[in-house]
Structure 1
Amino acid sequence: MNLVENIKEALRSVKSNLLRTILTGTIIAIGITALVGMLTAIDGIKAQIEDSFSGLGASNFDIRSKGFSGGSSVQDGKVQKSFPLVKFREFKAFQHEYNNTAPSTIFTTLSGAAEVKRGSKKTNPNVRVTAVDDLYFKIKALKIDKGRNFSATELQYGNNVCVIGQDVVETLFDKKEDILNQSITLFGNRYTIIGVLEKQGSVGGGPGADRAVFIPIENGARLDQRGTFRYTLTVSGSDPLRLDYEMGQATGLMRKVRQDRVGEEDSFEIAKSRSVGETLEEVAGYLRIGGFGIGFITLLGAAIGLMNIMMVSVTERTREIGIRKALGATPLRIRQQFLIEAIVICILGGILGVILGIGIGNVVANAIGPGGFLIPWTWIIVAFLICIFVGLASGYFPARKASRLDPIESLRYE
């Protein structure tokens, strides 16, 4: 009895016990549906969010002062060379020459714990104050809900104007109150509100732009009396595929601006910005682990059910096994027969589970937000590999029991 005959016999056995096969396959299908459905829904939702933020941060890179504080640092027991902070005028010189290649924005955080006042009302001392230019909101994908962006004149002269987030609005203003052209007090100075940002929400536990005040970069630079502010310049690259080339160009230009000598290391840092896609991928990774764990537990229960049914099948077919052994079937062929039966049942259940999982996953993803139809080929392959593994694991002990039956005792079994 060769392997091909074993496969044919396993298929005949599955067909002859059709109802039991359907019920057993359904158990497997439920587990695969849970696994593929959740993973498909996660990937579908992630794809929709990425499409909404298409390219955001994917081709951006930052230039900033080297080291945490611009001073010396210790690495491998050695004190590293210290470099002065990159000054605002140096970033302005870089931006002036690099504008023909790609747009960029200069910004600096003046305080992460500022208190904003308006009359008798004031915020908690947890408002972030950032000095920015007019391209900051576009490059960082922040939309202005009311009012406008900074004008060229306001940026040039560093006027006392500001754009504020929704949390600041809710703290200092009544719901029906007109916000634009009102004044707030910040660092002892009065600033006129010219714009209000859309509600951003919190990602990663931080307040984000909702609890922030943005002022013109020239205005912020005037407050840098000690020259200790740490400025950052973010370049919005044209294409992720050209990112390394554009970073190389930026490095050469920045070395020229900083007057770094040939052979010396860069006196600044340049690095790719963390994109929304990378953040989403990290979150989706945790969701996949959770979905895979739930699906695995469901499949574990299905595997135990399949093993129980296969044990019953061995008991029912004891005489058949005895006849096969009497006709010369080896224990290996007997084991193969029952293992193949278990794998066939799992694969049939897996096919049904994959179809249901893809359908349910896409329905869930599209219910949250309109999008296309996603076919997760990776999870389909994983699902079928799991089906084969479950079939082998569930069928091994019943197959082993069948292969070790004594042929004489089997023939006598009633």
Structure 2
Amino acid sequence: MNLIENIREALNSVKVNLLRTILTGAIIAIGISSLVGMLTAIDGIKTQIAESFSGLGANSFDIRNKGYSGGRAIQQGVTEKTYPKITFRETQAFKSEYSAIGSATVYTRVTGAAEIKRGSKKTDPNSRITGGDENYLNIKAMKIENGRNFSNLEVEYGNNVCVVGTEIISTLFEPNEDPINQKITVFGRPYVIVGVLEEQGGVGQDQGADRQVIIPIENASRLDRNGNFNYNITALSSDGTKIEYDMGQATEIMRKIRQDRVTMEDSFDLTKSQSVAESLEEVAGYLRMGGFGIGFITLLGASIGLMNIMLVSVTERTREIGVRKALGATPLRIRQQFLLEAIMICILGGILGVILGIAIGNLISLVIGVGGFLVPWLWMFVAFLICIIVGLLSGYIPAKKASKMDPIESLRYE
């Protein structure tokens, strides 16, 4: 009896015990689907978030307050020197000097809990108000669906104009009503809508990007009566291959504007936008580890169930094993037969599990708000590899038991 015959016998055994094969395969399929499903959902969510940052590009960097808060910079549990916040005038001076190297945008978040009004209609008090300049939409990869961007004069003089998200429009305007050049009220002040952003969506129930109002940065600075706003800068390198050089130039410009002494460290933080993607990948790695751990526990239960089924199968086929041994089958061939049966059952269950896992993972992503369809080729390969390993581990003990049976005693078994 050679290996080819063993494969044929294993297939025949799977067909004969079809119901048992289906039920056992279903156990494996549940384990694999939970593993592939969670990992697919995690990758789908990661892809959506990564796309949100992709517009910043690999050739952009941010300049913010030291410690990202303007307060005390804290490193390794030690409270360091307190640095003053970056002021609006300092950001404008940087933008002006950096224009000889590349483009930059100055922006600030005014509030995330504003109520926008138009006549008798008003939004919930959860709208975002952001101050930005003429470069803000381009550098942050936001597209205008209707209308236009701010003009240079509107930004320079801080006119009462705004660009709004689609949710603001759907709340305050009728479906067929043109919002361009219409007025809305923000903080009790009238603003003229000059542009409407494309729908951006969000993850889960957070659709904040579509309920934002962007006003000129000069106009926003007038609302900063107590000096509490944090003014941030995102700058683009003129060439992606020389970003380190441009970051050095930007640091020199900002140190001069901030009057940092030669012996002093930078009184601001400068970070690559690429570091956001690196942090995102790190978080996604932890999520994958958690998902893999949960899937492993499920597969462990499935492998125990498969081993139990195979042990029952060995007991039921004692006489068959005796006949094979009497006809000259070696212990190696007997082990091969039962191991092949276990692996085949696992692979059949794995195929079903992968299909269910991809469907479940993409369905979860769709419910959360992530668009597109993801096929996780890596996790499919890992799933099939796990199926073979589970088949080997679950089938080894039953196969070893079968190979050690005495042929005479086996033939007497009733």
Distance 1:79 1:295, change over 3 A: closer
Query: Residue 222 of structure 1 aligns with which residue?
Result: 222
Distance 1:8 1:72, change over 3 A: same
**Matches of residues 90-129 of structure 1 in structure 2 within 5 Å?**
90-129=90-129
- State the distance in 2 between where 1:21 and 1:272 align: 60
Query: Residue 258 of structure 2 aligns with which residue?
Result: 258
- Is the CA contact (8 Å cut-off) linking 2:314 and 2:402 kept in structure 1? no
Are 2:180 and 1:196 equivalent residues in the alignment? Answer: no
Query: Residue 311 of structure 1 aligns with which residue?
Result: 312
Residues 270-296 of structure 1 show CA distances to partners (whole Å, capped at 9, x for unaligned) of 223476897699689869976996798
- Is the CA contact (8 Å cut-off) linking 1:39 and 1:292 kept in structure 2? no
Residues 330-364 of structure 1 show CA distances to partners (whole Å, capped at 9, x for unaligned) of 7xx58844553345535764796699789989999
Query: Residue 71 of structure 1 aligns with which residue?
Result: 71
Q: What is the percent sequence identity of the aligned residues?
A: 39
Q: Which moves more between the two structures, 151-160 or 305-314?
A: 305-314
- State the distance in 2 between where 1:361 and 1:262 align: 58
- Is the CA contact (8 Å cut-off) linking 2:14 and 2:21 kept in structure 1? no
Distance 1:11 1:163, change over 3 A: closer
Query: Residue 57 of structure 1 aligns with which residue?
Result: 56
Distance 1:270 1:171, change over 3 A: same
Distance 1:317 1:380, change over 3 A: same
What is the TM-score with the length of structure 1 in the denominator?
A: 0.74
Q: Give 1:151 deviation, angstroms.
A: 0.8
Residues 282-339 of structure 1 show CA distances to partners (whole Å, capped at 9, x for unaligned) of 6898699769967985896587357525632454244645885999967xx5884455
Query: Residue 14 of structure 1 aligns with which residue?
Result: 10
- Is the CA contact (8 Å cut-off) linking 2:335 and 2:396 kept in structure 1? no
- State the distance in 1 between where 2:5 and 2:315 align: 14
- State the distance in 1 between where 2:300 and 2:10 align: 21
Residues 128-165 of structure 1 show CA distances to partners (whole Å, capped at 9, x for unaligned) of 22111112112222222222111111112111211222
Secondary structure in structure 2 of the residue aligned to 1:80: strand
Secondary structure in structure 1 of the residue aligned to 2:67: coil
Query: Residue 81 of structure 1 aligns with which residue?
Result: 81
Query: Residue 344 of structure 2 aligns with which residue?
Result: 345
Secondary structure in structure 2 of the residue aligned to 1:388: helix
**Matches of residues 7-406 of structure 1 in structure 2 within 5 Å?**
10-11=6-7, 13-14=9-10, 17=13, 19-20=15-16, 28=25, 31=29, 34=33, 38=37, 55-59=54-58, 60-67=60-67, 69-72=69-72, 78-203=78-203, 205-237=205-237, 244=244, 246-273=246-273, 304=305, 307-309=308-310, 311-318=312-319, 320-321=321-322, 324=325, 333=332, 336-337=335-336, 340-342=339-341, 344-346=343-345, 349=348, 376=377, 378-403=378-403, 405-406=405-406
Secondary structure in structure 1 of the residue aligned to 2:72: coil
- Is the CA contact (8 Å cut-off) linking 1:34 and 1:357 kept in structure 2? yes
Q: Give 1:109 deviation, angstroms.
A: 1.5
- State the distance in 1 between where 2:7 and 2:14 align: 10
- Is the CA contact (8 Å cut-off) linking 1:56 and 1:276 kept in structure 2? no
Secondary structure in structure 2 of the residue aligned to 1:86: coil
The residue type equivalent to 1:19 in the other structure is: K
What is the TM-score with the length of structure 2 in the denominator?
A: 0.74
- State the distance in 2 between where 1:128 and 1:240 align: 32
Secondary structure in structure 2 of the residue aligned to 1:228: coil
- Is the CA contact (8 Å cut-off) linking 1:161 and 1:216 kept in structure 2? yes
- State the distance in 1 between where 2:345 and 2:402 align: 20
- State the distance in 1 between where 2:12 and 2:127 align: 73
Structure 1 alignment gaps of length 5 or more: none
Distance 1:282 1:326, change over 3 A: same
Distance 1:311 1:245, change over 3 A: farther
- Is the CA contact (8 Å cut-off) linking 1:24 and 1:345 kept in structure 2? no
- State the distance in 2 between where 1:393 and 1:20 align: 23
The residue type equivalent to 2:259 in the other structure is: Q
- Is the CA contact (8 Å cut-off) linking 1:6 and 1:337 kept in structure 2? no
What is the root-mean-square deviation of aligned Cα atoms in Å?
Answer: 4.9
- Is the CA contact (8 Å cut-off) linking 2:134 and 2:150 kept in structure 1? yes
- Is the CA contact (8 Å cut-off) linking 2:165 and 2:197 kept in structure 1? yes
Q: Give 1:392 deviation, angstroms.
A: 2.5
Secondary structure in structure 2 of the residue aligned to 1:215: strand
- Is the CA contact (8 Å cut-off) linking 2:200 and 2:209 kept in structure 1? yes
- State the distance in 2 between where 1:398 and 1:289 align: 32
Secondary structure in structure 2 of the residue aligned to 1:81: strand
- Is the CA contact (8 Å cut-off) linking 2:128 and 2:211 kept in structure 1? yes
Distance 1:56 1:285, change over 3 A: farther
Secondary structure in structure 2 of the residue aligned to 1:379: helix
Structure 2 alignment gaps of length 5 or more: none
- State the distance in 1 between where 2:125 and 2:362 align: 45
- State the distance in 2 between where 1:69 and 1:375 align: 39
- State the distance in 1 between where 2:131 and 2:299 align: 53
Q: Give 1:99 deviation, angstroms.
A: 3.1
Q: Which moves more between the two structures, 30-39 or 341-350?
A: 30-39
Q: Which moves more between the two structures, 228-237 or 20-29?
A: 20-29
The residue type equivalent to 1:138 in the other structure is: N
The residue type equivalent to 2:129 in the other structure is: V
Distance 1:412 1:243, change over 3 A: farther
Q: Give 1:63 deviation, angstroms.
A: 1.0
